[in-house]
Amino acid sequence: MNLTTNQSRRDFLRALAIGAGGMAVIGNLGFIFPQETPNGEIKAIVVDFAICTGCRTCETVCSANNHKVEVNGELLKGLGNPDLSNIKVWHYNPDVDIPVTCFLCEDAPCIEACPVEPDSVTGRKALYRDETFHTITNDLDRCIGCEKCSKACREKSGGVIFPNKKTGKPERMCTLCGGDPQCVKYCPYGALQYLTITPEIQLRNTSPDSIAEKMIEFYYPEI
C-alpha cells in the first residue's frame, strides 16, 4: 500500500491508534508537545512518520537555535552540530527513520523520578515543567546529577534525556524554541506540524524502537 492518499494515511493511523491502546490519532505516536492556547485548546507538534525521510535537518536547526554563540559581540545561531540537538532521528533496517524528542509527557516520569525536594514556594523539584510552554526544564543549581530522570525517561517514555557526560545533569529536553519550533519550520518535507488537537485525547509516549517496530510491520510485513 502506498501512503500518498489521505484516506489510506488516516486508515493507517487509526489502525495504529487502536493497536496501541489509547494512542492519539493524527500520526502523533508519542511526539506531542501540548501547549494550551488562550481558548483552552491544546496545540501540539506532530510527526508524520509516513513522510520523514531521515535527513536530520531538524537536528541541525534545533542545535543551531538552542545553542547560540557569541560572534564579534553578536549572538548568532550555532553551526548546527547535531550532537547538541534535542530532537534525534533514529534509523532502522529495514528502512524507517523515527524522529523523536521530549514528549512533554503530562505525567512526566522524569519529574516524578527527580529526588530533589519540591521547593516550598514554587513547588518545583530540580526538574520541573515550565508554565509558559509546558516544556521540561532543569534547575542546574538544584540538580544533583543523579541521572534518575534520564533512566525514567528511557524506561517509561521515549528515552530522550541524555545526561551530560561530565555532570550527569539532564539535557536534550525540547524547548519548543520559545513557541516558534525550528524543526517544524525547516523540515524540507513538512513531516513536522504544529496542530490543534482536542483535549480529551490521552497522550502517551513510546520509545523509538517500539515505533520503528510498528512502522516496519506496517510498511514491510513478513520481512
Q: Which is nearer to other proteins, 90 or 194 (CB)?
A: 90
Among 15-23, 80-88, 127-135, 172-180, the segment contacting other proteins (CB under 8 A) = 80-88
Q: Which is nearer to other proteins, 42 or 177 (CB)?
A: 177
| Residue closest to 87 by CA, chosen among 76, 72, 97, 73 | 97
N- to C-terminal Cα distance for the chain?
15
| C-beta of residue 34 within 8 angstroms of C-beta of residue 104 | yes
Interface pick for other proteins out of 25, 41, 43, 82 (rule CB under 8 A): 82
What does the alpha-carbon distance between residue 120 and residue 28 come to, in Å, rounded to a whole number?
36
**Cell (9 digits) for 138:** 532543569
Under rule CB under 8 A, residue 68 binds other proteins: no
Partnered with residue 92 across adjacent β-strands are 96
Under rule CB under 8 A, residue 80 binds other proteins: yes
| CA-CA-CA-CA dihedral for 192, 195, 199, 203, to nearest 10 | 0
Strand order in the sheet with 35-36: 35-36, 42-47, 192-197
Under rule CB under 8 A, residue 167 binds other proteins: no
Under rule CB under 8 A, residue 91 binds other proteins: yes
DSSP state of 206: -
Interface pick for other proteins out of 50, 116, 146, 195 (rule CB under 8 A): 50
Among 24-32, 87-95, 112-120, 167-175, the segment contacting other proteins (CB under 8 A) = 87-95
Q: What one-letter code names the amino acid at 189?
A: Y
Under rule CB under 8 A, residue 206 binds other proteins: no
Q: Which is nearer to other proteins, 9 or 43 (CB)?
A: 9
Q: Which residues bind other proteins (CB under 8 A)?
A: 2-3, 50, 53-57, 60-61, 69, 71-72, 74, 76-77, 79-83, 88, 90-91, 93-97, 186, 188-189, 219-220, 222-223
